[in-house]
Structure 1
Amino acid sequence: MKSTKVLVTGAGGFLGSYIVRDLKERGYEVYSFSRKKYKNLEDLGVIQRQGDLANYDDVEAALEGIDAVIHSASQVGMWGRYEDFYKTNVTGTDNIIRACHKHHIKKCVYTSTPSVAFGDESLKGVDESIGYPERYLSMYAETKAIAEKKILMANNGILSTVALRPHLIFGPGDLNLVPRVVEAARAGRLKIVGDGENLVDVTYVENASLAHIMALEKLEANSPIAGKAYFLGQGPIKLWDFTNELLKRSKLPPITKKVPFRVAYSVGFMIEMGLKLVGKYDIHPPMTRFVALQLGKSHYYNHHNLEHDLGFKPKYSIEEGLDKLFS
């Protein structure tokens, strides 16, 4: 039987590398699309195609002969130029949709983020009916929301689409979340924002990959997941308990010092204004308003719809994920 050809954008990244590995293990013919070649993908036997996600001609050429797309590439960050986020997250997604139509591709699974639903208040156990906030304090979240809406609107019975929103992905190979927490703790820059009781979802990376592949395999024109977005996570757990467990396993002392939420938020606002004033967009600021909200507010979600429509349950517990991360 002819194997299905699946192209993964962002395959050189953290989550993308697990998705292509797991696709290969299931017998798919796997392609990747990114700006450069990756040795780990070459070793896996992934067929690599290069180009710029924001350039339609590059995307159109990359999707030739492809049966399905998992679009996990994005511009991620708490700070930067809006046009850079827009170019990758929105224009890039537009190009994926357009090229899918051009090549009569039937399936597109999109990696979104719960941040598309996060404004400036805690979200406690909400489901996908929460919708989108009136304003965003993150250029990443705002452009991902625009892109997610485009993906869901593109579901038309010919191209079937679905968006997954994995939250705070961790695991072996992570170069962002855990390393930055550990680095900040070592430098003495990490403090509990607020009372430390806020609850969040986290997602072990192999569970996130599994959900994407299950979505790919279930996605059809008349399937219950077509045209929908789903929160994906494991929780709720206390953010600062999880953080201190990461530090404990990294042989670092726990974080005990606290800063009031309003202070952190105000500092973030002043830093943003200062960076805008001097035109600095290529740094990782120690605090922004969005970071203060993420560290000080609750953001966990109801996963019933994903369990019901997709039949998804995490393969690994949070504890098992931490054991794998620090093994």
Structure 2
Amino acid sequence: LFHVLLVRVAVLLARSLHLRLPPPNLPPPRLPPAAMKLAGAAPLTLLLLAATPGAALQLGNRLPGRAIRSTVPLAVAPATDDERRALDSRLFSLNVAIVDTVKGLIDIAYKSNPYARFYVLETVARVPYFAYLSVMHLKETFGARDIGLSERMRVHYAEADNELHHLLIMESLGGNSSLVDRTIAQTMAFGYYWYVVLVYSLSEPAAYHLSELIEDHAYKTYDNFLTEYADDLKKQPVPQIARKYYQEDDPFLFDLMYTSKPPTWADGKRPTLETLYDVFVCIRDDEKGHWGTLCNLVQSGSIISASGKDPEATLPIELSDDGQVLPWVADATSAAEQANALVDKTEKPTARK
């Protein structure tokens, strides 16, 4: 079949170039360079056609196929409107181990250089949102039309833009002055991008939970930094890039990123920047906003929680190999009870009512 298709492509190509096919006993005419390139790309084109869904790439002049919906990931326990979904304990533990390991290494390497540490963290922190967008764009190309997909894409773009400006602020403070630091950060970001693409393609909640842990770590890191260096930060001026982003730029993307305004903003207006301390308060609050959105995406699959409650950290739950909730947590009425049942399973094999 492959050879037949290849011959047909060659014939159509020759006709399009107004060339006559030679008799079998004569050598073929030499095609122009452009035609040679097209002919050489034919096997790759056919391979792509065979590897992609028919709903995404249509042959000939047929009408586009019906859009397909993405399947629901099995890595998350079933949820009702009144309870939060919990993540499979195996994925939960893996994500925690990854974040704790990387966090520990960065803390050790940059203990005495906070701006360089923040530069590395922000370089890596903006990667997941771009990875999400890459996968979602690809799914759209292949015909996916999930409810809320466009909304998530807009919010993720706004989050990536926010993390970019955090990075620009750290660069303005000299966080990227070392070639070694830049190399480490960019290498980590490159590898992390492809890891997130793979995980997000297999399980969106697992990928969102990994970022949830990272944003929680970022919030605590900035909060501790504000507490430790408050007096010094209040003596330093506001970087121009920070003032431009938080007070002068069009607030569309910035407002889109926040599902609820931070309590540090007076009357829900733009943040007030007087010193470098205020800038880091804004950055810290941004990380908390990212964390809340990611919690909602893990637990309810949407940007905003359906229950209207404040975000809470995702909890682990133990599933069997076929994705079913194990007996000792199957009857729990909430994610909190499921987590408690998981902890107590060795002492009490049945779930608490």
What's the TM-score, normalizing by structure 2? 0.23
More helix by share: 2
Rg (Cα) greater in structure: 2
What's the TM-score, normalizing by structure 1? 0.24
More strand by share: 1
